[in-house]
A and B are shown apart, each in its own frame.
Chain A
Amino acid sequence: MSVTSVSTYSMVHATVRALYSMMLGPDTWTALVQAKDLDAVFSILSKTAYSSHLILKDITPRRAAHQIRRRLADTYEKLIRLLPGEGSQLLLWLWRLYEVDDIKAVLRGIEAHASWEQILLLLHPKPKHALLSLETMQRMVLSGDVARAIEFTNHTPYYNALVHAVERYKTEKSLFPLEVALDLDHHRRLWESVEKFGDLDRTWALRIVGSMIDMDNLLWAIRYRIYHHLSEEEIINYTLPFGYQVRDEHIRAIASGADVAEVLKRIYPEIPVAENIEDESSAGKGLQALELTLQRRIAVQCRAAFIGDPFHIGIPLGYLMLSEYEIRDLTVLIEAKASRLPTETFGRIMIFQSTAYADTAALR
């Protein structure tokens, strides 16, 4: 533990610890899952850290999810401000995952001729560091044309990738090349931010962000092969050659037609792999289960960051990822309660169910 890392992370650590203590505990989760209806869920949430973001008047499930997300955006804003250079850059690029999602939502909305009001509900709350304001996104939608909408991003780092890929959009009339180009470009920059760290910071950034990149890369490769039936060369070009535990050889093996379950076992010997992962007819259930398993694995990595030396980037990163997963689970829960789904149906797709408080010692 160096003096520099203590001075860099002492404030961040104190802030994150305070925020971490406000995350929903097992009792609250139990109460939420067992809540008899949506009103009961909101009533419980109004006694938690989300209360300051929830406006119960005229609330709908979608509005509630959006309001809850505001808390995450605010936390990003706070931590980006507190962290110095490299740390704040990494967090910025991590947050931009949401902005990339928003661009995709806008482009899909334009393709589907959706109104701005419809698209607005799908967008993430905009913190101060957002590169594309809601007004710019509205103008993108109102332009009514994907190529013209992309021109509104010309002051952002997304522009080069989008404007180059738009040629393919024009000939193929599909958003697929645009979305893939955006994802690849974003993940490369995220990886570059991770690589700028040294020592303990690098270890934790790799464990958390690297694991997240691993998950995306794996899921892309599997999806492209099984559902999009792409060739080996295409899968390689549409995936990334770097990661934490997933190596280029693993991606190449999947691309060349190797047994996916075998490859997964080589990477993660400890996790169970669904047998139907390559079964296209199971409507992606195997892939969904794999994604959930990997997310739970990342959640465990994030919790492990809070044990031992506290002065490293893993603390803010771990909290932000856990916070994201908590919000995802809450969104699932709210939608499920609104649709009156039984607990066993939605409980299966919640990240924090069963592993949220697992022993993290094995992963350290």
Chain B
Amino acid sequence: MFRALAMSKVQLVIPEQVVIPVTEALATSGVFHPTLNRYFSPEDTPDHAGQWRDWVNAFTTLERRILDVMEALAVDEGTPPTETPHLIEPDEATLDVERLEHETLTCVRELENQKQHMAQLQRYISQLKPIASLNAGMDTVRNLQYLFAMMGTIPIANLERLRSSLEHVPFKLVTLRRDEYLATVVLFGTKRDAEILTRAARSAYLNPLNLPEMYRGTPAEAIEALQTGIERTQERVDGLQADIDRLHEERIGHLRSLLWRVRASRTLSQTIAHYGRLRYTYLVEGWTPVARIPLLQENIKRVSNEVLVEVAPPQSRQEAGTPVALEQVSPLRAFQSLVTTYSQPLYGELDPTPLMAITFPLIFGIMFGDVGHGLLLLLLGILLASRAIKKLRGMASFGAIVIACGVTSMIFGFLYGSVFGNENLLTALWVHPLEEIMNILIATIGIGTILLSVGMVINIANAALLRRWGHLLFGHNGLANLIFYWALLGLAWNILPEMLGLEESFRLPESLVGVLPVIAVIAALMVALSEILENLLEGHRPLVKDSLGTYLVQLPVEIFEMLISLFSNTLSYVRMGAFAVAHGTLSLVIFIIADMAGAGTVGYWVVVVLGNLFVVGFEGMIVGIQTLRLEYYEFFSKFFAGGGASYHPLILVPRKET
């Protein structure tokens, strides 16, 4: 729970003829993290990567085409298959896609055409309506003997330009109707200027009304015929829609399976393109958790006995590129994401997730202690975790964090005696922050010192695990620093009771007080000389990187900086108490404003409800940010190096979320 899984380096020599099934087996096992190929192909071997890259491009295009067919048939991607699909060759997939496109897109495009045809018929009607009362046949208008007439639609923006382009010829442009973008117009002129008028009209994008021959007669008769045409087209549209619905039912399974297979094939091709290559073999290198090596070997053996698998002994220390596999139990996974947002732990370093799961809600609860507000957070957390609201599903992983914060807020709410900002309903089990400000501030400093000390202890444990003994004893945040910190705290503890008027029993024994300054000075010198002492103990030379003179000049500055740093880190935790007080004050303000609206009135309750929602939303967010700040900058900085590489095992299709 506190450490990442132990990893072993695995090297494979795969004969060319089994590279595909072996890669599929690697993906099926889901435990092999491939690393970038470090082998260079000999010059006389064919460019194998180029061929696989071509396949990647082909699969990308095929995926797009399948998605288009799926969209046309209103088929969604569905869930990824439980079994890893096998590679499909691009040619085979292309044939399949072409067949699907043919049977689907023919139908879909015919439907689009019919819909467009219907829209066109409707446009004809709207263009004819302004002249519906004209008692002359459309053919007569078309075939005038001395007059040129062109009826059609034109972008409104082009109307003036068309007029001005015809200033040398007699014409009349009549606007029958104006819509948002287009106008229905009739352009009249003499038959002699027909060519000029036609060219001008065409260049002004006047699309003539070309009524098909079947719609003859007067405009009124043509409109009637067009309406009949619309009804016929609608019937055809309904028929085609039924065909598409049938295709949806018949092809839904095949389309989804083909899509995932093509996607898996693309990932597989991409992976192989990165393998090293000799003349007849592929060289593959990667990492696998030690406990999963048998599973990996078994999966490979199942497809081929010709693969040479070399497993290195478990990795004990961090090496460049060693991936870090963190495996936390379900409720801790949400907190793991908070840790990895800061940084991935180094291989061999302690995983701070379990500690984060305790300290994060604790710090949040101290700052946001309120039974009512905590309950709201708890309910919100349950809502998020339940995935009940589709739009909030992406935040489901945060549900556990919000639940934990809600629970601690409620616990501290009971300790502070606060319900929705009202401090008169409950008796405080500990303190009312507003009434005992000094106590709560001192208490939070106490919690801060404990957290900082825990951080340093973990740092010591990390150094022991990484066998960095010098760092363990003398490093910043090592044993010497911890002793220095506690010696300072002891000295401070001796002065505090006098300053705060506490009882004598709080004082430390005189004998210990006398020794503490000596311990503090020795420990401070050890930390200040850490570079020399660490190098001495770990056998590194030279002992000092720069000149000894410079080093000695820096020594007092180092001690001063260390002192300031410990002081500021400790004081930083005062904000926990300050926020607890601020929370009470903000709630108080809400009740004062509510009282101004009149106690017991509707306005009073509106202010109380909105004010509390504001506190939960706005202050809750700020407290969340402050909690993260304390975790990342005060706590983590004491022990967490980070900078490790994430573990991404090869998989061909995403696993279902659990």
Contacts and interface: CB of A to CB of B under 8 A. Distances in A.
Nearest to B206: A237
Contacts of A135: 64
Interface string B55-84: 001000100110010000000000000000
Contact of B165 (A161, A165, A177, A233): A233
A266 interface: no
Nearest to A172: B202
Interface in B195-239: 196, 199-200, 202-205, 207
Nearest to A238: B203
A233 B64 contact: no
Nearest to A224: B203
Contacts of A188: 157
Given A116-B61, A117-B57, A237 B68 contact: no
Contact of A231 (B160, B196, B205): B196
A237 B165 contact: yes
A233 B181 contact: no
A167 B112 CA distance: 16
A72 to B, nearest CB: 27
Nearest to A163: B181
A232 interface: yes
Given A160-B155, A164-B155, A232-B165, A237 B200 contact: yes
Task: Classify chain A's interface size.
Answer: 20 to 34
Contact of B203 (A117, A151, A237): A237
Contact of A236 (B165, B202, B207): B165
A74 to B, nearest CB: 26
Contacts of B57: 117
A135 B203 CA distance: 33
Contact of A165 (B61, B168, B181, B205): B205
A177 B202 CA distance: 10
B166 A233 contact: yes
Contact of B161 (A160, A164, A165, A241): A241
B202 A168 contact: yes
Interface in A146-203: 148, 151, 160-161, 164-165, 167-168, 177, 181, 185, 188
Nearest to A252: B164
A128 to B, nearest CB: 20
B297 interface: no
A233 B205 contact: no
B563 interface: no
Given A138-B64, A139-B64, A168-B207, A237 B161 contact: yes
Given A161-B155, A231-B199, A241-B164, A168 B205 contact: yes
A250 to B, nearest CB: 14
Interface of B, helix, strand, loop or mixed by DSSP: helix
A148 to B, nearest CB: 8
B114 interface: no
A278 B158 CA distance: 28
B68 to A, nearest CB: 6
Contacts of B112: 148, 151
B516 interface: no
Nearest to B169: A233
Interface string A134-149: 0100110010000010
Given A164-B182, A168-B207, A181-B205, A234 B200 contact: yes
Nearest to B158: A237
Nearest to A115: B61
Interface string B463-480: 000000000000000000
Contacts of A160: 155, 181
A241 B159 CA distance: 12
Given A160-B155, A181-B205, A233 B65 contact: no
A233 B196 contact: yes
B68 A233 contact: no
A194 B168 CA distance: 32
Contacts of B203: 230, 233-234, 237-238
A173 to B, nearest CB: 14
A164 B207 contact: yes
A20 B199 CA distance: 48
Contact of B199 (A168, A181, A233): A233
B153 interface: yes
B151 interface: no
B162 interface: yes
A139 B61 CA distance: 10
B205 A177 contact: yes
A168 B109 CA distance: 21
B566 to A, nearest CB: 39
A232 B169 CA distance: 12
A66 B166 CA distance: 45
Nearest to B197: A233
B153 A142 contact: no
A167 B181 contact: no
Interface in A89-119: 116-117
A117 B205 CA distance: 33
Contacts of B65: 142
Nearest to A234: B203
A194 B200 CA distance: 29
A148 B101 CA distance: 15
A233 B203 CA distance: 8
Contact of B204 (A139, A151, A237): A237
Contacts of B109: 148
Contact of A167 (B157, B204, B207): B207
20 contacts: A116-B61, A117-B57, A138-B64, A139-B68, A164-B153, A165-B205, A168-B207, A185-B157, A231-B196, A231-B199, A232-B165, A234-B200, A234-B202, A234-B203, A236-B164, A237-B162, A237-B165, A237-B200, A237-B204, A241-B164
Given A142-B61, A161-B155, A167-B207, 16 more contacts: A139-B64, A142-B65, A160-B155, A164-B205, A168-B207, A181-B205, A185-B157, A188-B157, A232-B168, A233-B200, A237-B165, A237-B203, A237-B204, A238-B203, A241-B161, A241-B164
Interface of A: 116-117, 135, 138-139, 142, 148, 151, 160-161, 164-165, 167-168, 177, 181, 185, 188, 230-234, 236-238, 241, 248
List 10 tightest A-B contacts by C-beta distance, closest first.
A233-B200, A237-B203, A236-B165, A234-B203, A233-B165, A237-B204, A160-B181, A167-B207, A237-B165, A231-B199
